[in-house]
């Protein structure tokens, strides 16, 4: 069964727009777990414009499923995750000024840096994942870091899905097959939604987990979390 981890950054964005604690990020995470999510994902930014470091400390006390923390491994970020010790840390090469993740790692250029970071995560007993684009050379060098998993950056698949889904999925199939041969487990995320998720899940071999936030939260405004989580779980029931 492919696991569904739900990114709750947008819940924090809504809260921060008004101040106070409505909606309550911790309570929403609890409810999402109750409705069937297999994990909770957060992605703190340096300016803490949505999820705050203090949220992560509180969430770590209450999450009963898997906890995935994404981010660029700055000193502050590493201090946080090594203190919290979530189930998984997903390394994302975000610049401080990006609105959302917009590129995967150049694992060849950053091999030494990533190996050092992965070593620290492994020593702390934290599963590691590296955010990458579906490029065989990039995946090869990811495997040399010692990471447990890669997360395929799926924005290009999602943008091309409606025009030609067979062409859109092809590089991801090839990337996943290559990763599997190298002994890497496979996650995926970015712009996956209830329209394009089932096809992706059926075509990608040995997919372990998808991380979805923006689309799922947006659909929940109309249908409610319980209904939408059920829809996404059914998409993954292949």
Active site amino acids? 43, 70, 190
Closest CA to 204 of 212, 216, 213, 192: 192
Chain-centroid distance of CA 30 in Å reads 18
Q: CA angle, corner 191, sides to 187 and 194, nearest 5?
A: 90
> CA-to-CA distance for 112 and 118, rounded, in angstroms?
10
CA count, 13 A, side-chain hemisphere, 69: 27
Q: If 0-12 CB within 10 Å is exposed, 13-18 middle and 19+ buried, where does residue 134 land?
A: buried
Cβ neighbours of residue 144 under 8 Å, at least 6 residues apart? 107, 111, 115
> CA-to-CA distance for 46 and 120, rounded, in angstroms?
21
Pair 25, 12: CB distance under 8 Å: yes
Pair 99, 13: CB distance under 8 Å: no
């Amino acid at each position: 069964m492919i696991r569904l981890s739900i990114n709750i950054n947008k819940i924090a964005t809504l809260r921060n727009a008004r101040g106070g604690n409505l909606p309550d990020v911790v309570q929403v995470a609890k409810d999402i777990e109750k409705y069937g999510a297999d994990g909770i994902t957060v992605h703190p930014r340096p300016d803490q414009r949505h999820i705050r470091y203090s949220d992560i400390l509180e969430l770590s006390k209450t999450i009963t499923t898997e906890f995935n923390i994404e981010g660029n491994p700055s000193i502050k970020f590493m201090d946080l995750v090594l203190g919290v010790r979530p189930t998984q840390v997903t390394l994302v090469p975000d610049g401080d000024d990006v609105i959302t993740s917009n590129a995967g790692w150049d694992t060849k250029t950053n091999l030494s840096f990533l190996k050092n970071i992965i070593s620290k995560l492994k020593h702390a007993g934290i599963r590691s994942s590296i955010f990458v684009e579906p490029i065989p050379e990039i995946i090869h060098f990811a495997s040399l870091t010692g990471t447990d998993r890669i997360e395929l950056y799926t924005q290009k698949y999602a943008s091309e899905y409606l025009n030609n889904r067979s062409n859109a999925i092809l590089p991801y199939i090839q990337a996943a097959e290559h990763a599997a041969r190298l002994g890497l487990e496979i996650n995926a995320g970015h712009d996956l939604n209830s329209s394009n998720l089932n096809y992706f899940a059926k075509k990608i071999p040995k997919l372990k987990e998808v991380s979805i936030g923006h689309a799922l939260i947006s659909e929940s405004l109309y249908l409610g979390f319980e209904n939408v989580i059920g829809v996404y779980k059914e998409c993954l029931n292949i």
